[in-house]
Homo-oligomer: A and B are copies of this chain.
Amino acid sequence: MRRPPIRGCALILFTNDYNRGAHPAVLQAIADANESSFPGYGADEICARAAGLIRAALGGADADVHFLVGGTQVNYTIIAAALRPWQSVLSADTGHIAQHEAGAVEHTGHKVEVVPGVDGKLSAAQVERAALDSQESTVAEHITQPALVYLSQPTEFGTLYSRDELAAISRTAHEHGLLLFIDGARLAYGLGSPGNDVAMADMAALADVFTIGGTKCGALFGEAAVLVNPAMRTGFRNQMKQNGAMLAKGWLLGLQFEALFTDGLYRRIGAEADARALRIARVFAEAGVPAFLDSPTNQQFVVLTSAQLEALSEGFGFEYWQRVDEDHHCVRFCTSWSTRDHEVDSLAAAVAALPADVGTRAMSTGRE
């Protein structure tokens, strides 16, 4: 019996940034190590070396670096490690932990307190208000106490916090005794964006803990947790194990992050995908298809008519985001490390041939 040939999807997929395996350099590193033996659970020299490369990329910051497998997993493990039982995590209502993780944070026993996001972002003012509301409450014992601010860079909408915005949030959080956690599941696409002014060293300076996403950024799988605040570090590996987040063959994660942080690969992956995404944005704009919001990274949200939606669905995969009005739909096009120029060419040709939007439309904002 022979294994049938492996065939993926027939459409060209802009659905997400995790529909292909790994950057060739990552896969090669795994193949090269396949004949060697390693200690288990991340206690190997590869993981140590990868952690060192990451610390170097942070400008030599003092931080513990651990490697976990997936995004939901690393998020709830960090959040549960940061909070005591009566504390909650503060997030924009569009935050990944608030919307797309199956209640994983609540499953660890903690409430996700949400504030209305603007283009996927929360503000220092909102953090201050939430902190004061809970701390000054006359019934403080009857409400959860936010003790951690969660945000993602880039956000769920592809937008970016500026360094000033992050600095203000960090300062406000710390003034009120809250920690700051930056979810970097798509960090490469933030770092590589022309619109970005937040360096990795800034993140280490401003956040108590943050992640460096591998799964969506060129790795086969894997997320790095960077624990800056010493208070986050105690018992973290025990909690990884307890949460099923400690890979037996931990060196597989070290190998991948070593490859990603050698010769600037991680940032280059982001920059190339962002460039292709911005080309897609221009293509749509030139065809008169409006953006849902302005994103400088690898996720582009545009508003299609029903006819346009149907036309593009024949050759391309993309994600339906939300209905805008009777005849208009917000959809997302994602590029990634694996997007090729000829795929964008095909999309550009199809967009140029789209039927025009002749109707009227009440444009919505990112936040409704």
Judging by beta carbons under 8 Å apart, are B8 and A38 in contact?
A: yes
Instruction: List chain B residues, Cβ under 8 A from A255.
Output: 6
Considering only residues 122-144 of chain A, those with a C-beta below 8 Å from chain B are 138-144
Contact, CB under 8 Å: B241 / A141: yes
- Give complex CA distance A258, B77 in Å: 31
A27 at the interface (CB under 8 A from B): yes
What 1/0 mask marks residues of chain A from 28 to 43 whose CB sits below 8 Å from any chain B CB? 0111111111111100
> Is B1 in contact with A235, judged by CB distance below 8 angstroms?
no
Given contacts A104-B242, A141-B238, A248-B70, contact A20 B6 (CB under 8 A): no
Classify the secondary structure of A's interface with B.
Answer: loop
Tell me the bound Cα distance from A52 to B219 in angstroms.
28
Q: Shortest beta-carbon distance, A217 to chain B, in Å?
A: 12
Interface-central residue, A72, A85, A258, by most chain B CB under 10 Å: A85
A70 to chain B: which residues have CB within 8 Å? 69, 244, 246-248
Residue pair A238, B102 in contact (C-beta under 8 Å): yes
- Within the complex, the shortest CB–CB distance from A4 to chain B, in Å, comes to 7
- Given A69-B69, A102-B144, A107-B109, A7:B36 Cβ within 8 A: yes
In chain A, positions 4-61 with a C-beta closer than 8 Å to chain B are: 4, 6-9, 11-13, 15-16, 18-22, 24, 27, 29-41, 44-46, 49
A3 at the interface (CB under 8 A from B): yes
Q: Is the CB of A21 within 8 A of B249?
A: yes
| Interface contact A103-B30, CB-CB below 8 Å | no
Bound complex: CA A111 to CA B19 (Å): 30
A297: min CB distance to chain B, Å:
18
**Smallest CB separation, A152 vs chain B (Å):** 15
A25 CB to closest chain B CB, in angstroms? 9
A15 → chain B closest CB, angstroms? 8
CB A256 to nearest CB in B, in angstroms, measures: 12
With both beta carbons as reference points, the residue of chain B lying nearest to A238 in the complex is identified as B86
Q: Closest approach, in angstroms, between the C-beta of A36 and any C-beta of chain B?
A: 3
In the assembled complex, the Cα of A9 lies from the Cα of B36 at a distance in Å of 7
Chain B contacts for A18, CB-based, 8 A: 40, 248-249
Q: Is the pair A33, B19 in contact by a Cβ cutoff of 8 Å? A: no
Contacts of A242 in B (CB 8 A): 85-86, 101-104, 107
CB-based nearest B residue for A96 = B142
Selected contact of A220 from candidates B85, B106, B252, CB within 8 Å: B252
A99 to B317, CA, bound (A): 41
Q: Do A8 and B31 touch across chains, with their CB atoms under 8 A apart?
A: no
Whole-angstrom distance between the Cβ of A19 and the nearest chain B Cβ: 4
Min CB gap A244→B, angstroms: 3
- Write the A63-98 contact mask toward B (1 if CB under 8 angstroms, else 0): 000000111111011001100111110000000000
| A196 located at the interface, meaning its Cβ lies under 8 Å from any Cβ of chain B in the complex | no
* Residues on the B chain within 8 Å of A109, using CB: 106-109
